[in-house]
Amino acid sequence: MMPTAPTLPAGVSQDALLAALRPLCWGAADILRAYSRGEQPPYGFPKALSVDDGGEGPVSAADLAVNQWLLDGLKQAFPEAGWTLLSEETAKEQLTEGQPLPADWLWILDPLDGTKDFLQGTGEYAVHLALVQGRRPVLGVVLLPEADELWIGLVGEGAWCEDRQGDRSPVRFSDRTAVSELILVASRSHRDDRLVKLIDTLALGGSKAVGSVGYKVATILRGETDLYVSLSGKSAPKDWDMAAPEAVLLAAGGAFTHADGELLTYNTGDVRQAGCLIASHGKAHAALEEIATRAMATIDPGFQV
Predicted pLDDT at 1? 45
Q: Using one digit for the tens of pLDDT, what is the confidence trace for 206-229?
A: 999 999 999 999 999 999 999 999
Q: What is the pLDDT of residues 75-98, one digit of tens each?
A: 999 999 999 999 999 999 999 999
pLDDT value of position 119: 86
Q: Burial letters for 59-81: b for 16+ Cβ neighbours within 10 Å, e otherwise?
A: bbbbbbbbbbbbbebbeebbeeb
| Mean pLDDT on 263-283 | 97
Q: Are 212 and 126 in contact (CB under 8 A)?
A: yes
**Topology classification of domain 179-299:** D-Maltodextrin-Binding Protein; domain 2 (3.40.190)
Domains of the chain: which residue ranges?
Answer: 14-170, 179-299
What is the architecture, at CATH level 2, of domain 14-170? 2-Layer Sandwich (3.30)
144, β-bridge pairs: 149
Whether the predicted pLDDT of 248 surpasses 60: yes
Q: What is the pLDDT of residues 16-41, one digit of tens each?
A: 999 999 999 999 999 999 999 999 99
How far apart, in whole angstroms, are the C-alpha atoms of residue 188 and residue 155?
Answer: 30
Residue 233: the pLDDT is: 77
DSSP state of 151: E
Angle 275-112-53 from CA coordinates, rounded to 5° = 125
- Is the C-alpha dihedral spanning 28, 29, 34, 36 positive or negative? positive
